[in-house]
Chain A
């Protein structure tokens, strides 16, 4: 194969993801611009001006920023002690605890929201227990529809992000710095204030921006736990578009959201560049806690992590078996297969499991394939690669709700009349998943020594054979991590699905939401049971990611 032919083949390959992004990302977003700024074919900024002027929508923006800020501060404050003991001490079960800490990353927001409702809600474990012990008629803890519960869920979600970024950076810092500070007379809180925190600043900043982005665009948890009273921009976009069909306003909100998120993503990638990628040089200084005080600190933090990360999930499983029943029963699980009202419009919930698995499988294949091509393109030198690197991350900043909304308005005319086809869901999920896939493959690609590739070439391997025999085997773990991420991302995807799902092909998260929004203990019980099912499926994804993590999780 000549150089020109190779170039042609490569260009043809790269054409696929470029077209995909053009049709299923740029086009829907441009349509949002169109709907927002030119609602009747002419430039009309009234929807936009309405946002800026109306206090109601300003409050929405303010509340979104407020809850994201508080979530971020809380998460960082709680993750810092965790990062400290993880970098500083060894203790039995440390690896297990670290693995456990990434579990929330792959758990769907619907599951997490349901789990916390099963733990702290009116019918939750804690309230039922308190009511039976103190013979109360009303649940004593009223957290449902409260900001506190939303904040707790956000911390739960982002704890691992803070822990990983900060402890990864910390392990790379020389402990000599701290020892030097000590010899110079710096101890206790002054050590934190003058040495540790300033030293960790790049990591804390990067983690904060990422957690802020995630909390800002949080949708499922807020919709389920807060309702419209705590409407963030995301929830407003959904409400305006789906409930009162005010498309121009929803579009205007999406624009504001996108603008803010792009800015923050830009800041984040700038911060991330300052953090070295090579964790291998991390010095191993962790040791067992010796004094009683050290044991208390380590034990307390570990106990907090276990309680905080595991108890909600256990409560979910427990309540799915007990809610509204005497003793344990699998009734809600068997109900998932039944059609109680014998309605012809009713789809048995178990079909949703099949749908979700099918969509997730398709998403995994598409996202891994496209992500691989994009990763290779990003890995090449040049300005185009740098542009692509930033561009591929944009879906992460575009919220799933915006994306779903964009599909709704952008893909409803031939030749792209996909709005009523089931295909639209895996397409949306693929876009959501691609940043995760690329971020899983890139570190593996970057860690291939150039001399290893040159060695293959001088030993007689043509570029294609080199790719097949050397590069591909070396990135296979990163590829598998990316595929597992894509699969779980699709399984749990909620924001875009809520816009795009067809009544006859529901997915697991949309079915859970439907159950939750209907009254009655039977619906609640089935929501819990379905959440457990989803948690188990994502748990498999989690195990895959965890087993391969050392190779590929580098950039999150």
Chain B
């Protein structure tokens, strides 16, 4: 991953932080926490349940990407696998 310079990795990490904040804000908004909103369902799961599971999964994937961008020593300059 030679194209990813430490500066660029830090930038992408900060973008991930921004995106995570966006997901968190969205998750606590009426868009997801909407009283009596059950439809649309996915795999029979009501709207609030599947959207919150999806939001959780996104944050965990961001954690994986964030860890990867920070590199083996967490300082953005060390090796990434």
Q: Do A and B bind each other?
A: no
CB within 8 Å of B: which residues of A?
Answer: none
CB within 8 Å of A: which residues of B?
Answer: none
